């Protein structure tokens, strides 16, 4: 009997994957598990800790979505994807959502048949060099050898930047951040380029981070965000509004500490709608009333997640900068919950 | 004379398709053919449906779009403003470069090791056995990574060749004043022409006329050399004395090329450390070196076994007969054993060449941008055209393989036993 069920599930899973069915929500619920495509190892954003538990900024978003949909932030299976395989993995149905420092661009949103569900980190591309080189500006990198992850937008930005500034360089193509780290430390390239947040995270993992500097030039806009398959707007809405709920929670002062109290006592109608005590917003996206409350409870609101994973108190030490609330001069702006 | 009893007229019944042995095999073939075609049709239909479900179309138009990325090693002119089709060509040239270099080196290594494995010198024979067993029993990807790691970890950064900022002391100098082995590349002198012949624009890419002239001269020289050898053989058959040919061969092959080079003002530019890297010279990347060495040593081990098998396939009596005629071991090998062994060696050698060419797609592991790295890597990623890129890549690899094997088949038919 058990065996039959097992094989039945296997066949069903195979068929479901083969057809890349539209209703991701139903698949996730039936599976009882969210499959989230993440970075194979970028400290602070997505990396397994000593016990093999995944932690990080992107991981927290996956956990929030799992909590909203399945009621449990631990019911997530993390699939490490390289920069090259990530979109194929999503398009083929191997993963339900992608939260892997992926830049939202026009062609990815349209031609690659992805749907981005907002921006969870506003980033820009930078360069890291060894202090001993004596380089203080990216404009001094003429003739340098530069390590670059293939299949990324940074690859194209790099080519553009050097062409515009009439400089030459030798690209060294690498597959993953770990490989880039190793090549850079071995001196196989003079500079390493990727998103500035990624550089900070990479540098934090070095033996002597202070030997390396991140150059002041930011050469591109890199809005990083979660993505889902095109053609399933319900699922995209769930991911989008889970992210918005985390951002809105910070704006309204809802934290993991006071969420239970606010759920019962709050007089703010916006908070009440967010936490599902007034108007059942969850039903409109196929979930129950408590979805946002559960999502926020897992790791706290956006600000809490930020400071716990990549904020200034962590070794990565990123300032909020553009990623502050719009009320604080940043770009985070959740549309109204009504 | 009685007429034979007239046989009953054959009338065709449908059941005969199964029960009659004359038709049965045909029936089975037709059914299997239909099933295979139905399977293929189902697959194609499935692809079309799934693509439309994902909202994707099937279009090769992306090849004409600006690529936007840079490639470090390019044998033909390419910039980030070139198209994806040009990036494909750059990758293809890189694949062919490493495949050709690898096939040449693998053949040299393989023949030497194969012959030495049969050496009567115990130590040499055993050493060669160890080499063969180690190299062919470890996946080639690991060899590529190992050699690459040795290159990048064990050699100094280009910075190390700079004089010390405090003392002004130069700790590292160029090897023989010509080469610099660094953890990024090996800088070697670069052949330059003061007045080149320019280049001819062929639309898709431009042909370097200087290079073409050298190749044509070499080809002519080689042809004349083969005529000289043939003439020498004819003289030998007629008179029993073989005229000396080596100096004539050297003269016709190399003299015109050297004269041309001198006329065009050929000189070597030595690598100089300027800025971050060595410039002026030619920088051969470590990924190419690692890939080339690993592929040739790995395939060389297989070729060694093929060569050994080929030699052992020639019966002992042949070499004994040659010795009895007074031929030295070297001439016995060249005149008696190898010509016969080649007939056994060539067919499996073809598949080793094909393997080497296909294994070169592991280049991506060390960041060498071959066809798999450009078309199947960056272009695929930046355009999101997985199906188109992979199909095109398969088609190109198939085409290269077919060209190699048909070329080798021509050679095989020349050396195989002529039956008259």
In a domain, B168, yes or no: no
Tell me which residue in A20, A156, A171 faces B54 most closely, judged by beta carbons: A20
Asked whether A120 and A58 are in contact (CB, 8 A), the reply is yes
Neighbour count for residue B41 (Cβ, 10 Å): 10
Residue A128 confidence (pLDDT) above 90? yes
Nearest CA in chain B to A229: B54
Please write the tens of the pLDDT for every residue from A244-265.
999 999 999 999 999 999 988 8
Q: Which two tokens stand for residue B300?
A: 């060389």
Distance from CA of B398 to the nearest CA of A (A): 24
Neighbour count for residue A95 (Cβ, 10 Å): 25
* Residue B2 binned pLDDT confidence (cut-offs 50, 70, 90): low
Asked whether B300 and B103 are in contact (CB, 8 A), the reply is no
Determine whether the interchain pair A169/B70 forms a contact, defined as Cβ–Cβ distance below 8 Å. yes
Q: Is the dihedral of CA B85, B89, B90, B94 positive or negative?
A: positive
Q: In chain A, how many H helices and how many E strands?
A: 13, 14
Average pLDDT in chain B: 86
CB pairs A-B closer than 8 Å:
105
pLDDT at A1: 41
Nearest CA in chain B to A183: B152
Distance from CA of B311 to the nearest CA of A (A): 44
* Residue B196 binned pLDDT confidence (cut-offs 50, 70, 90): low
Asked whether B114 and B306 are in contact (CB, 8 A), the reply is yes
Task: Looking at the structure, tell me whether residues B297 and B390 fall in a common domain.
Answer: yes
Alpha-carbon distance B143 to A195, whole Å? Answer: 33
- Cα→Cα distances B227→A17, A279, B222, B231, B362, Å: 65, 96, 9, 6, 42
| One fold for A2-122+224-328 and A125-220 | yes
For residue A262, give the 3-state DSSP assignment: helix
In a domain, B218, yes or no: yes
Under DSSP, the state recorded for A66 is: H
* Residue B291 binned pLDDT confidence (cut-offs 50, 70, 90): very high
In CATH, A125-220 is 3.10.20.30: no
Q: For an interface test with A, give the residue of B51, B67, B285, B381 to mutate (most A CBs within 10 A).
A: B381
Q: Which of A6-20, A153-167, B382-396, B404-418 has the lowest mean pLDDT?
A: A6-20
Distance from CA of A187 to the nearest CA of B (A): 6
Under 8 Å CB-to-CB from A235, ≥6 apart: which residues? A23, A24, A25, A96, A97, A228, A229
Average pLDDT of the residues in A130-159: 89
Average pLDDT of the residues in B208-233: 86
Alpha-carbon distance A288 to A277, whole Å? Answer: 11
Place of tokens 């003002």: B265
Task: Looking at the structure, tell me whether residues B226 and B82 fall in a common domain.
Answer: no
* Residue B205 binned pLDDT confidence (cut-offs 50, 70, 90): low
Under DSSP, the state recorded for A335 is: P
Nearest CA in chain A to B276: A144
Phi, psi of B172 (to 5 degrees): -125, 135
* Residue A9 binned pLDDT confidence (cut-offs 50, 70, 90): very low
Determine whether the interchain pair A188/B184 forms a contact, defined as Cβ–Cβ distance below 8 Å. yes
Q: Does A140 reach chain B within 8 Å, measured CB to CB?
A: no
Asked whether B111 and B300 are in contact (CB, 8 A), the reply is no
Average pLDDT of the residues in A276-285: 88
Which domain covers residue B320, as residue numbers? Answer: 64-150+286-415
**ipTM of this predicted complex?**
0.74
Asked whether B152 and B290 are in contact (CB, 8 A), the reply is no
Task: Looking at the structure, tell me whether residues B98 and B214 fall in a common domain.
Answer: no
pLDDT at B237: 87
Distance from CA of B300 to the nearest CA of A (A): 28
Alpha-carbon distance A151 to A173, whole Å? Answer: 10
In terms of Cα–Cα distance, which of A242, A336, A332, A235 is closest to A296?
A242
In a domain, B238, yes or no: yes
* Residue A17 binned pLDDT confidence (cut-offs 50, 70, 90): very low
Neighbour count for residue B342 (Cβ, 10 Å): 17
In a domain, B276, yes or no: no
By CB neighbour count within 10 A (0-12 exposed, 13-18 middle, 19+ buried), where does A87 fall?
A: buried
Task: Looking at the structure, tell me whether residues B328 and B255 fall in a common domain.
Answer: no
Average pLDDT in chain A: 88
Asked whether A259 and A297 are in contact (CB, 8 A), the reply is yes
Q: For an interface test with B, give the residue of A129, A170, A229, A231 to mutate (most B CBs within 10 A).
A: A170
Average pLDDT of the residues in A173-180: 85
Tell me which residue in A133, A145, A156 faces B277 most closely, judged by beta carbons: A145
In terms of Cα–Cα distance, which of A218, A81, A225 is closest to A157?
A218
Distance from CA of A155 to the nearest CA of B (A): 6
Residue A176 confidence (pLDDT) above 60? yes
3-class SS letters over chain B: CCCCCCCCCCCCCCCHHHHCHHHHHHHHHHHHHHHHHHHHHHHHHHHHHHHHHCCCCCCCHHHHCECCCCCCCCCCCCCCCCEHHHHHHHHHHHHHHHHHHHHHHHHHHHHHHHHHHCCCCHHHHHHHHHHHHHHHCCCHHHHHHHHHHHHHHHCCCHHHHCCCCCCCCCCCCCECCCEEECCCEEEECEEEECCCCCEEECCCCEEEHHHHHHHHHHHHHHHHHHHHHHHHHHHHHHHCCCCCCHHHHHHHHHHHHHHHHHHCCEEEECCEEECCEEECCEEEEHHHHHHHHHHHHHHHHHHHHHHHHHHHHCCHHHHHHHHHCCCCHHHHHHHHHHHHHHHHHHHHHHHHHHHHHHHHHHHHHHCCCCHHHHHHHHHHHHHCCHHHHHHHHHHHHHHHHHHHHHHHHHHHHHHCCCCC
Tell me which residue in B55, B274, B377 faces A151 most closely, judged by beta carbons: B377
Q: Is the dihedral of CA A204, A206, A210, A215 positive or negative?
A: negative
* Residues of B whose CB is below 8 A from A229: 54
Q: Does A233 reach chain B within 8 Å, measured CB to CB?
A: no
Residue A19 confidence (pLDDT) above 70? no
Q: Does A229 reach chain B within 8 Å, measured CB to CB?
A: yes
Q: For an interface test with A, give the residue of B382, B383, B386, B389 to mutate (most A CBs within 10 A).
A: B382
pLDDT at A21: 47
Average pLDDT of the residues in B375-394: 88
In terms of Cα–Cα distance, which of B384, B353, B195, B366 is closest to B290?
B366
Residue B214 confidence (pLDDT) above 50? yes
Please write the tens of the pLDDT for every residue from B233-282.
888 888 888 888 788 888 888 888 888 888 887 778 888 888 788 888 88
pLDDT at B3: 60
pLDDT at A41: 85
Nearest CA in chain B to A172: B367
Average pLDDT of the residues in A42-69: 93
Nearest CA in chain B to A19: B50
- N- to C-terminal Cα separation, chain A: 48
Alpha-carbon distance B69 to B375, whole Å? Answer: 12
Q: Does A130 reach chain B within 8 Å, measured CB to CB?
A: no
Tell me which residue in A108, A133, A173 faces B369 most closely, judged by beta carbons: A173
Place of tokens 């190299």: B135
CATH number, residue B78 = 1.10.3720.10
For residue A238, give the 3-state DSSP assignment: helix
Q: Which two tokens stand for residue B246?
A: 């080596």
Please write the tens of the pLDDT for every residue from A204-257.
888 898 899 999 889 999 999 999 998 889 999 999 999 999 999 999 999 999
Under DSSP, the state recorded for A310 is: T
Beta bridge partners of A213: A129
Phi, psi of B381 (to 5 degrees): -70, -40
Determine whether the interchain pair A188/B386 forms a contact, defined as Cβ–Cβ distance below 8 Å. no
Average pLDDT of the residues in B126-142: 94
Q: Largest Cα–Cα distance of chain A, in whole Å?
A: 69
In a domain, B353, yes or no: yes
Question: Taking the domains of chain A in order of start, what are their residue ranges?
Answer: 2-122+224-328, 125-220
Task: Looking at the structure, tell me whether residues B298 and B349 fall in a common domain.
Answer: yes
In a domain, B26, yes or no: no
Average pLDDT of the residues in B124-131: 95
Under 8 Å CB-to-CB from A107, ≥6 apart: which residues? B384
Average pLDDT of the residues in B169-191: 79
In a domain, B254, yes or no: yes
Alpha-carbon distance A183 to A193, whole Å? Answer: 12
* Residues of A whose CB is below 8 A from B364: 175
Asked whether B112 and B124 are in contact (CB, 8 A), the reply is no
Q: Does B43 or B154 have the greater pLDDT score?
A: B43
Please write the tens of the pLDDT for every residue from B296-308.
999 999 999 999 9
pLDDT at A77: 94
Q: Does A108 or B132 have the greater pLDDT score?
A: B132
Task: Looking at the structure, tell me whether residues B332 and B404 fall in a common domain.
Answer: yes
Polymer length of chain A: 338
Tell me which residue in A19, A172, A230 faces B72 most closely, judged by beta carbons: A172
Under DSSP, the state recorded for A325 is: B
In a domain, B188, yes or no: no
Chain A, window 71-90: residues with a beta carbon less than 8 angstroms from a chain B beta carbon:
83-84, 87-88
Residues of B at the A interface, defined by Cβ within 8 angstroms: 50, 53-56, 68-72, 79-81, 152-153, 157, 159, 183-184, 274-277, 279, 283, 286, 364, 367, 369, 373, 377-378, 380-384, 386
Q: Does A168 reach chain B within 8 Å, measured CB to CB?
A: no
pLDDT at A64: 95
Q: Which of A86-90, B7-11, B209-213, B362-366 has the lowest mean pLDDT?
A: B7-11
In terms of Cα–Cα distance, which of B307, B305, B304, B301 is closest to B338?
B307
Neighbour count for residue B262 (Cβ, 10 Å): 10
Task: Looking at the structure, tell me whether residues B241 and B293 fall in a common domain.
Answer: no
Architecture of domain A2-122+224-328: 3-Layer(aba) Sandwich (3.40)
Domain count along chain B: 2
């Amino acid at each position: 009997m058990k065996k039959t069920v097992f094989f039945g599930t296997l066949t069903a899973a195979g068929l479901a994957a083969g057809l890349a069915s539209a209703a991701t929500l139903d698949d996730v619920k039936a599976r009882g598990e969210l499959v989230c495509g993440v970075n194979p190892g970028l400290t602070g954003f997505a990396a397994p800790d000593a016990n093999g538990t995944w932690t990080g900024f992107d991981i927290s978003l996956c956990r929030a979505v799992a909590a909203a949909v399945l009621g449990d932030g631990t019911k997530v299976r993390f699939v490490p994807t390289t920069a090259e395989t990530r979109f194929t993995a999503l398009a083929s149905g191997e993963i339900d959502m992608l939260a892997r420092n992926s830049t939202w661009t026009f062609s990815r949103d349209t031609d690659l048949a992805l749907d981005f569900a907002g921006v969870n980190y506003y980033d820009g591309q930078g360069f890291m060099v060894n202090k001993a080189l004596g380089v203080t500006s990216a404009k001094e990198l003429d003739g340098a050898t530069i390590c670059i992850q293939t299949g990324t937008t940074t690859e194209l930005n790099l080519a553009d930047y050097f062409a515009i500034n009439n400089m030459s360089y030798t690209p060294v193509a690498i597959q993953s951040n770990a490989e880039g780290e190793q090549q850079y430390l071995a001196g196989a390239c003079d500079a390493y380029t990727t998103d500035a947040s990624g550089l900070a995270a990479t540098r934090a993992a070095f033996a002597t981070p202070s030997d390396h500097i991140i150059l002041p030039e930011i050469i591109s806009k890199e809005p990083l965000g979660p993505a889902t398959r095109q053609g399933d707007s319900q699922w995209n809405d769930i991911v989008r509004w889970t992210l918005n709920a985390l951002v809105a929670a910070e704006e309204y002062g809802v934290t993991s500490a006071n969420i239970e109290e606010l759920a019962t006592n709050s007089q703010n109608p916006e908070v009440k709608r967010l936490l599902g005590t007034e108007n059942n917003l969850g039903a409109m996206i196929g979930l129950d009333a408590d979805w946002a409350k559960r999502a926020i409870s897992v790791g706290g609101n956006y600000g809490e997640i930020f400071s716990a994973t990549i904020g200034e108190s962590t070794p990565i030490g990123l300032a909020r900068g553009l990623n502050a609330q719009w009320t604080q001069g940043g770009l985070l702006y959740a549309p109204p919950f009504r | 004379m009685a007429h034979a009893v007239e046989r009953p007229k054959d009338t065709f019944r449908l059941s005969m398709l199964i029960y009659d042995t004359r038709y049965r095999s045909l029936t089975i073939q037709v059914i299997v053919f239909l099933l295979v075609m139905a399977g293929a049709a189902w697959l194609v239909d499935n692809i079309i449906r799934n693509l439309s479900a994902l909202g994707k179309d099937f279009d090769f138009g992306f090849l004409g779009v600006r690529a936007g990325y840079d490639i470090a090693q390019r044998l033909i002119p390419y910039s980030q403003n070139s198209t994806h089709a040009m990036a494909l060509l750059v990758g293809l040239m890189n694949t062919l470069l490493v495949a050709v270099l690898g096939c040449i080196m693998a053949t040299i290594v393989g023949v030497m090791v194969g012959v030495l494995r049969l050496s009567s010198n115990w130590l040499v024979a055993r050493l060669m056995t160890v080499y063969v067993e180690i190299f062919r029993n470890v996946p080639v990807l690991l060899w590529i990574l190992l050699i690459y790691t040795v290159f990048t970890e064990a050699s100094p950064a280009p910075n190390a060749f700079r004089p010390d900022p405090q003392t002004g002391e130069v700790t590292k100098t160029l090897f023989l004043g010509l080469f610099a082995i660094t953890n990024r590349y090996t800088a070697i002198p670069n052949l330059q022409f003061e007045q080149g012949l320019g280049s001819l624009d062929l639309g898709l890419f431009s042909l370097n006329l200087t290079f073409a002239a050298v190749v044509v001269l070499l080809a002519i020289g080689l042809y004349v050399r083969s005529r000289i050898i043939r003439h020498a053989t004819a003289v030998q058959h007629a008179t029993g004395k073989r005229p000396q040919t080596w100096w004539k061969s050297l003269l016709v092959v190399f003299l015109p090329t050297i004269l041309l080079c001198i006329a065009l003002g050929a000189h070597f530019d030595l690598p100089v450390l300027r800025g971050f890297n060595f410039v002026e010279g030619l920088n051969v990347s470590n990924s190419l070196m690692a890939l080339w060495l690993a592929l040739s040593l790995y395939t060389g081990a297989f070729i060694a076994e093929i060569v050994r098998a080929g030699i052992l396939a020639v019966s002992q009596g042949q070499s004994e007969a040659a010795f009895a005629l007074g031929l030295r071991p070297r001439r016995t090998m060249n005149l008696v054993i190898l010509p016969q062994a080649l007939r056994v060696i060539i067919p499996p050698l073809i598949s080793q060449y094909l393997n080497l060419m296909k294994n070169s797609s592991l280049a991506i592991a060390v960041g060498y941008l071959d066809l798999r790295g450009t078309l199947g890597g960056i272009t695929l990623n930046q355009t999101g055209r997985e199906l188109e890129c992979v199909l095109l890549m398969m088609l190109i690899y198939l085409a290269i393989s077919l060209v190699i094997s048909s070329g080798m088949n021509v050679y095989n038919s020349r050396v195989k036993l002529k039956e008259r």
